[in-house]
Amino acid sequence: MAAAGRRLMIGFEGTKASAEVVDLLLESGASAVILFARNVVDQEQVRRLIAELRAAVPWPLIVAVDQEEGAVVRVARDLDVLPGAACLGRTGSEDLARRAGRCSGARMASLGFDLVLAPVIDRRGALDNPITGWRSFGADGELVARLGRAYAEGLEEGGCAACAKHFPGLGPARIDPHLALPEVAAAIDPEPELAPFASLAPVCAAMMTTHLRHHGLDPEVVTFSRNVVDGRLRRGLGYAGAILSDDLLMGGAARTEGIASAGVAAALAGHDLLLVCRDRDAVLAAATALGRGLDEGRLEAREHAASLARIATLARRAAGTPKGCDEDSRSLALEIAAGGLEVQGDRRRIGLRAGDRLRLVDLGRGAIEPAEEGCAWPARWLARRLREGGLEDVRVLDRPDELEGDRFDRLLVILRDLGRNATATDDLRRLRERWDDRIVFILAGPPGDQLLVDRPALLIDPAGARRAQLDRVVELLLGSLARPTPS
């Protein structure tokens, strides 16, 4: 099992290299592990965990993390999380993208990671696309390619190998592949989505595919399509690095035959590393099925050996000495955030005065996790910063109906993951009917949230809700502050 299991990247529960976790590594033979927020307490614990995992196996172990910055991070405590791809895309700056990649790569390398599953080089689709959102550099393929390449090179300069994703592009998708399989019609040309991957193929140590059926490429699901994985990516783009599947336990990869069938089918399609990100039984079933496939000749020994060679190359490339980053991450985050901040509507409408009474209503549900300290609830962080900036009467309300009978001058309405809030549409309607002339909307969730706000008089869009971005929003609000003229 162990030799075949070298084709696996696995996840596990818990924050320690327990006997059960070590046993799973040894029994499966996995070449790589991936850590999620569920495995993270703080930076020192992560360093210790990774060191213990590596010491537990007699082979080079690749340790990967989904640390895209922006909306998708796994490590946030004691960090200034950098604004993500959408914010970088608005700046259009290759220099900022490279510096962001270098900073992120250096921070992850300092913790012991050697492979970062970034950048996302899907073109941004519709505003309500459930995947691309803030995770994409933009809709323009040339921009995505330029900034994606600079970011990937920066990651390598910082000390981590880069894995571009999600081939062949999730821009046209309308369903989240974590939940179900997206279908893309044959009439939608796949070539614009492929262009960024062609640009990054020479520089990325790894590339990840996605669970998608694009009828313009193949009627088979991409994950299980040799025509797409081996034909279009490996041969068509001449890609020589390691090809990773996405998690085979996602809804979009579901097969009636189960994980064993999925693992073999993904290997036959041309993937080198197969992700099974949870469930001990699933990991061992996939490893057993791969071993049986080799024994029975369904998986060719020659192709298996080539995959192991590419995995070994990835491990050597990923295991380079961390190079570090001499740039202050807080300053870099604020620089990116300033370039990505946009305002829709009339800035004069902010019109804050020193004695103004401000109320904040967060229409999101649940905290942002993982979050930088103090920023799990954007409204609370904004209120704190506004008070520090000199405004005295600033209150965060738990429910919109608390405004009834209150006296206030401006209402900051935080838009955040409204699709998860069953009452959001009604709340928005009531707020606008009563107080539209006092509202400033702040988009702290995915871009699709703004579709629920028809012709806002003023909407501040920081392209994300990390601390630096919220601080730039506060600067904008306080910059309009009108101080009374001394008598």
**Partners of residue 357 on adjacent β-strands:** 393
Known active-site residue 246: yes
Catalytic pick among 246, 427, 461, 471: 246
DSSP class of 353: B
Q: How many CA atoms lie within 13 A of 26 on its CB side?
A: 11
Measure the CA–CA gap between 214 and 231, rounded to whole angstroms.
14
Catalytic pick among 140, 176, 178, 356: 178
Measure the CA–CA gap between 135 and 85, rounded to whole angstroms.
5
Measure the CA–CA gap between 483 and 290, rounded to whole angstroms.
70
Q: Which residues contact 473 (CB under 8 A, 6 or more apart)?
A: 341, 382, 442, 460, 462
DSSP class of 72: B
Measure the CA–CA gap between 123 and 139, rounded to whole angstroms.
5
CA 124 to each of CA 60, 93, 95, 129, 144: distance values in angstroms, whole numbers, following the listed order: 36, 17, 21, 8, 9
Is 442 in a helix, a strand, or coil?
Answer: strand
What is the pairing mode between strands 458-461 and 342-345?
Answer: antiparallel
Across 37-88, the runs of DSSP E, i.e. the strands, are 62-65
Tell me, rounded to whole angstroms, the distance of Cα 141 from its chain centroid: 19
Cβ density class 378-391: b for 16+ within 10 Å, e for less: bbbbbbbbbeeeeb
What phi and psi, each to the nearest 5 degrees, are found at residue 243? Answer: -105, 125
Q: How many CA atoms lie within 13 A of 109 on its CB side?
A: 24
Other residues' Cβ atoms within 10 Å of the Cβ of residue 238: 10
Is there a contact between 392 and 383 (Cβ–Cβ < 8 Å)?
no
Residue 222 identity: V
Is 108 in a helix, a strand, or coil?
Answer: helix
Known active-site residue 454: no
Nearest CA to 280 out of 59, 3, 26, 7 is that of: 26
Nearest CA to 175 out of 210, 130, 141 is that of: 130
Measure the CA–CA gap between 39 and 174, rounded to whole angstroms.
30
Is 103 in a helix, a strand, or coil?
Answer: helix
Measure the CA–CA gap between 13 and 234, rounded to whole angstroms.
33
* 97: exposed, middle or buried (Cβ count in 10 Å: 0-12, 13-18, 19+): buried
Is 449 in a helix, a strand, or coil?
Answer: helix
* Residues labelled as active-site residues: 178, 246
